[in-house]
Structure 1
Amino acid sequence: MWENTGDFEFRAWADTLRDASGAAIFSDRQNISNALDLDCDGRLDLMIGRLDGTVSRYEATKLQGEGVPTFELLDDTFEEIRIVAQITPSARHGANTLVFHDADGDDDPDLFWGDFFEPGLLLIENRGTCDAPDLTGAPQPFPLHDPVRTSGYNAPTFGDVDGDGGLDLLMGVLGGAFNANATTADNLLYFEQVEGRYELRTRRYLTQIDVGSEATPAVLDLDGDGDPDLVVSNKIDPDDLSTSRLHVLENTGASGDPAFRLGGTLDVRGAYHNAPAFGDLDGDGRPDLVLGTWRDELRYLRNEAGPDGSVRFAMVDSAFVTLTRGSNATPALGDLDGDGDLDLLVGESSGHINFYRNEGSPSSPRFVLVSDEWGGIKAERRSVPALADWDRDGNLDLLLGSEREGVRLFLGEGAAQEPRFVETDRLLPPDRAPAYSAPLPVDLDGDGDLDLMVGGVGGGLYYFERAGAP
């Protein structure tokens, strides 16, 4: 519990909520509880939804303002509520969220319920009074005139979003039993309250970069204007669940002051978990594409750019490289043996790094496996490598993302023909990095040093500006 000390500042007030005997009060970890003065007696009531679809009610033993409250259990099956979704072949219940709000303006709080096995938002109207609540009625889909449907596990909250004095509804979609991949981007719904009715205005209230899930960024000058654009892939595209897509973010800003706008997608389809790496593999001066997939193969697409310099990729080989083990192939290109051509590192689900040396000609690459446990470097799971001269000493360095370990840095030392990579302090510890971190070192602000962009499990991008010497 945190106390509001004013000016949007909070301080820890209690390590956990406890009952009158001092025992900790537990909630199922998937459930979102709610606290309010339900019966207008000046004491907080703690309402906890349970996995069996029931509600437990606790009441504080102190009046509000008398210090950290302790709670007494009043009812383990409050109002005999039992939310059970009727799903063939049998009824189910599961993780849930609950919140109270006076939706009908009769001065008593009504109950809103979201559930893993419920695609909508349920309302149980309070038919009693402030000091004698009655929530025994049947749940109704909400909004009443046009019920919302999502992938399920909906989490509502009410507040004055538009500043007109009325309480509107924001609803997060945590993703339940009804194809959660479909709502990895359409996951924050805004309903405006208009004369007592709640009208859906948008399913994407926050207009930030969001490609769905497991964003993997890469940088490339896509339109030939000399500044870096971004290509961001995903696990499964929320607008087309049959594939992953490569989303284009065109840089429309000035040098050193980038600004990005969504510019559609590259015409590359046919696999899940696309992970791009760009580099000139055929010696024509144009960046080609090596594309990792959720399987164990990587694809090679040649850049057949038009006269205006814009890129256009054509498939050369859909199984250009096949891993010896693992899946979720994630490539990085760089000259690791000092012979002037691009070699290949591949991260994958086991956490190891696979090294393929380029033994082809300048116009026709041929990658040969050197090691599938390269350098003894390993992430716990889902290794995501990136190569760049991070410390500006002329040697390539390795940045390594993973499922839960943040972003690690390995500095390249020794001769260019036989580099060694030595781990230093983490660039981003786990508590500062998203899960499934996909690092991209890039100088977006034009100051001559590399900053860090990181894709994450939520489908967004994190940007960290470099501070101080490399």
Structure 2
Amino acid sequence: MMTFIRTSLFLILLFIVPATVFSEDQLEPIQYNNPDLIVDLGVGLWAWPLPMDYDGDGDLDLVVSCPDYPYSGTYFFENPGTGTGPANSTPIFKPAVRIADKMSNVQISYFNDTPIVSSPGRIYLDFPKNQYSKSVNLGVPSKLDLEFKRTRANQWKLVDWENDGDLDLIVGIGIWDDYGWDDAWDEEGGWKNGPLHGYVYLVENLATSSSETPVWKSVPEKESWPESLGPKPKWAKPVQIQAGGKPVDVYGMPSPNFADFDGDGDLDLICGEFMDGFTWFENTGTREKPELSEGVVLGARQKDAKKIETQHRIHMDLQMITPVAVDWDGDGDIDLISGDEDGRVAFIERFSDFEKLPPEEQKDHLRRTLLTPFFGRPQYFQQIAHDVKFGALITPVGFDWDGDGDEDIICGNTAGHIGYFENLGGGETPKFAPIKLIQEAKFQSGGTPITEDLRYQAGPKGSIQGPCEAKWGYSTISVADWNNDQRLDIIGNGIWGKVRVHLQGDHHTFFTHDVKAQWNGDAPKPQWTWWTPENGQIATQWRTTPTAVDWNDDGLTDLVMLDHEGYLAYYERAKKGDELFLKAPERIFKMEGNCEFDGRHRVVGEKKDGLLRLNASRAGGSGRRKLHFVDWDGDGRKDLLVNSENVNFLKNVRTDEDGTVWFKDMGKMDSRRLAGHTTSPTTVDWDKNGIPDLLVGAEDGRLYYKKNPRAK
């Protein structure tokens, strides 16, 4: 009976959805297939590390929560007890094992060497045994300060604040009320709204207090409180922690950590932020009566009596960092373990003795001028290679990059890096080398070329969503021989919405140029873009693929991408003498049925059978479309694959006599959800059967593969 039902259902679906779209196979992540390879440890988008001895073998492992799609969950990375540095401080971790669902805003504290895992309003008992299944309600509202309307980070920790033997609550809150969200630039690139705020609150435990402070809340009577954590709490009203006579206030997402960082016996404070850095607040009071001094950027130095320099500050590669204070290497001082937005986790070692520093760091002026405890540069943890991963929101292109006859993967990511995974062979299941970052050639003032990692970045003025996104780049690319010199070039777009070409020179270095068109008048730009394109520069919507493709089959590489208003547009390439140029764009693409969408390919409005507008949203909601042209169904026409929850197949159904190209949306190409933000489709033919197969870059930075159903 079940066989009959399944068969009948499949036959019904054949009439509802074209067979070219769906197949029984599901998108699955590809692996390195390279057993000797070591790569950066990583979860998906956002890493919330919980260092603890999870397996009880005497060393610290990493547990990491990740709240993204599709990698959502809590993962255990086993420390095998081998590595370098004191106490094997940089082990090579085993691949991740999923141990529980995700937990947002999860934190870890330590009391009498016991790890305490917490989230807003709760602690979790004996986490290695129970994960999140056994918890205690703290009796405090999870939204602590109702004065603020827009909050994101909500980070709860426990610490014995005043050394009275009980555990108090410390809560870090990221406040967005002053900042807003997007579209607040003036015409000169000035941010008209306020900054992010990161406040830290104390909720004192009055269980052992003799003061007359009134009790505000208590752990409910029905909750069983572990004796090992002291008496059952009775909470005072929350108060903002002060530093230097004013509230502690960092740039969003404070991730507060109280520990004796300077070794003087009292608890100091180090905070993270929404960006990439750390702030140190020294306790100049006592262990029983803390008094914090004004915050100083971690790693800052006193240049002279009037100037503090921060160019040597301690910072992570990306942003949305999540530091945790713990003596990771067992040398008696407190280190930092910090997650990054792209899912990686780093060890930031505290050096309490200058003689233990590397020789190049043992400089007398450093000893004299450093204003904070000395920490080394972040060392990103490594793991045995498993899933192919490159940061987060990976944007792949399948192409034979090195000319050896098989398709490699060139890709961008949220950090704005561009790199490639070399295909080392293996046919349908390739073996991959680790990511190699693309190098950009630049010239110093004296004319000497230097190379550095090619990286798209917003900087303080480049994101429509404001200065808090300075470290993001959102590189999205295509590959083609743009200037007909028989070398592969990279055409890119990113967070600014500036289309660029990176022309390949000698020794695989690249030279960057703006991509320009011959406009009839001034170059247009999105209405919300504060900067003005110059000299024919193309200014499009941010984070959308500039697709280099010979659309009209004339031997010249054209450009197809969103224009400044979100319509899919054709920039035809032409040649005059030896000069190649792009014509002004034409809107030649239309869609049967619904024809206007948002950045996730959800229908916007009621327009039908009209110009294909892949994003009708504005400002921060604009752009974000990832495109790939390929003859997916084998009918000889260039179809369009676009991002959605996974990927939607827009079938090229006809071309009118006037050159108008019509697409029909055939629906999602798989049932698996890969995106909260966006995916990025491309195709490969690793089995060399002449039929393109689907490869999708996902939010978690991994690549998901599915064979074309035509191959069956």
TM-score range (shorter-chain normalised) is 0.5 to 0.7
Distance 1:368 1:144 in 2: 50
Q: Which residue pairs with 2:397 in the alignment? A: 218
The answer to whether the Cα contact below 8 Å between 1:449 and 1:466 also exists between their aligned partners in 2 is no
Q: Secondary structure at the match of 1:136?
A: coil
* 1:347 counterpart letter in structure 2: L
Q: Of 693, 700, 703, which aligns to 1:450? A: 693
How far did 1:366 drift? Answer: 5.8
Larger strand percent: 1
How far did 1:409 drift? Answer: 1.1
Matches within 5 A, 1:276-355: 276-279=477-480, 287=488, 290-292=491-493, 298=499, 318-320=515-517, 325-326=525-526, 327=540, 328=542, 330-334=545-549, 343-347=558-562, 350-355=565-570
Q: Which residue pairs with 1:98 in the alignment? A: 256
**Change in CA separation of 1:98 and 1:318 when aligned onto 2, cut-off 3 Å:** closer
How far did 1:186 drift? Answer: 11
How far did 1:157 drift? Answer: 0.6
Q: Which residue pairs with 2:85 in the alignment? A: none
Q: Which residue pairs with 1:371 in the alignment? A: 587
Distance 2:339 2:640 in 1: 37
The answer to whether the Cα contact below 8 Å between 2:524 and 2:564 also exists between their aligned partners in 1 is no
Q: Which residue pairs with 2:168 in the alignment? A: 45
Q: Secondary structure at the match of 1:441?
A: strand
* 1:10 counterpart letter in structure 2: Q
Q: Does 1:228 align with 2:407?
A: yes
How far did 1:419 drift? Answer: 5.1
**Change in CA separation of 1:360 and 1:140 when aligned onto 2, cut-off 3 Å:** closer
How far did 1:340 drift? Answer: 7.8
Q: Does 1:399 align with 2:641?
A: yes
Q: Which residue pairs with 2:105 in the alignment? A: none
**Change in CA separation of 1:165 and 1:428 when aligned onto 2, cut-off 3 Å:** farther
Matches within 5 A, 1:75-90: 75-77=237-239, 81=243, 84=246
The answer to whether the Cα contact below 8 Å between 1:185 and 1:211 also exists between their aligned partners in 2 is no
How far did 1:285 drift? Answer: 6.8
Distance 1:296 1:140 in 2: 36
Q: Of 421, 424, 429, which aligns to 2:667? A: 424
Q: Which residue pairs with 1:384 in the alignment? A: 626
- Tell me: higher relative CO, structure 1 or 2? Use CA pairs within 8 A at least 6 residues apart: 2
Q: Which residue pairs with 2:439 in the alignment? A: 265
**Change in CA separation of 1:167 and 1:371 when aligned onto 2, cut-off 3 Å:** same
Matches within 5 A, 1:186-197: 188=346, 190-192=348-350
How far did 1:424 drift? Answer: 0.7
* 1:464 counterpart letter in structure 2: Y
Q: Of 424, 430, 435, which aligns to 2:677? A: 435
Q: Which residue pairs with 1:26 in the alignment? A: 144
* Aligned alpha-carbon RMSD (Å): 5.5
How far did 1:346 drift? Answer: 0.4
Distance 1:99 1:315 in 2: 42
How far did 1:120 drift? Answer: 4.2
The answer to whether the Cα contact below 8 Å between 2:123 and 2:137 also exists between their aligned partners in 1 is no
**Change in CA separation of 1:250 and 1:465 when aligned onto 2, cut-off 3 Å:** closer
Q: Secondary structure at the match of 1:223?
A: coil
**Change in CA separation of 1:55 and 1:3 when aligned onto 2, cut-off 3 Å:** closer
**Change in CA separation of 1:107 and 1:205 when aligned onto 2, cut-off 3 Å:** same
**Change in CA separation of 1:263 and 1:106 when aligned onto 2, cut-off 3 Å:** closer
Q: Which residue pairs with 2:424 in the alignment? A: 253
Distance 2:281 2:344 in 1: 22
Distance 1:296 1:115 in 2: 26
Distance 1:162 1:357 in 2: 59
Distance 1:105 1:356 in 2: 63
Q: Which residue pairs with 1:202 in the alignment? A: 377
Same amino acid, percent of matched pairs: 18
TM-score by length of 1: 0.65
Q: Which residue pairs with 1:169 in the alignment? A: 336
**Change in CA separation of 1:8 and 1:199 when aligned onto 2, cut-off 3 Å:** farther
Q: Secondary structure at the match of 1:414?
A: strand
**Change in CA separation of 1:185 and 1:84 when aligned onto 2, cut-off 3 Å:** farther
TM-score by length of 2: 0.46
How far did 1:110 drift? Answer: 4.7
Q: Which residue pairs with 1:410 in the alignment? A: 649
The answer to whether the Cα contact below 8 Å between 1:343 and 1:367 also exists between their aligned partners in 2 is no
How far did 1:192 drift? Answer: 4.8
Unpaired runs of 5+ in structure 1?
Answer: 86-90, 175-183, 238-245
User: How many pairs were matched up?
Assistant: 428
Q: Secondary structure at the match of 2:291?
A: coil
**Change in CA separation of 1:15 and 1:453 when aligned onto 2, cut-off 3 Å:** farther
Distance 2:455 2:328 in 1: 40
Q: Deviations over 1:411-445 (max 9, x none)?
A: 3243578552314126587x732635444334568
Q: Secondary structure at the match of 1:202?
A: coil
Q: Of 226, 230, 249, which aligns to 1:65? A: 226
Larger helix percent: 2
Q: Secondary structure at the match of 1:421?
A: strand
The answer to whether the Cα contact below 8 Å between 2:389 and 2:703 also exists between their aligned partners in 1 is no
Distance 1:250 1:52 in 2: 38
Q: Deviations over 1:124-180 (max 9, x none)?
A: 449656xxx321253575879989544998643124545778753224578xxxxxx
* 1:101 counterpart letter in structure 2: A
The answer to whether the Cα contact below 8 Å between 1:172 and 1:187 also exists between their aligned partners in 2 is yes
Distance 1:314 1:40 in 2: 59
The farther-off stretch of 379-388 and 57-66 is 57-66
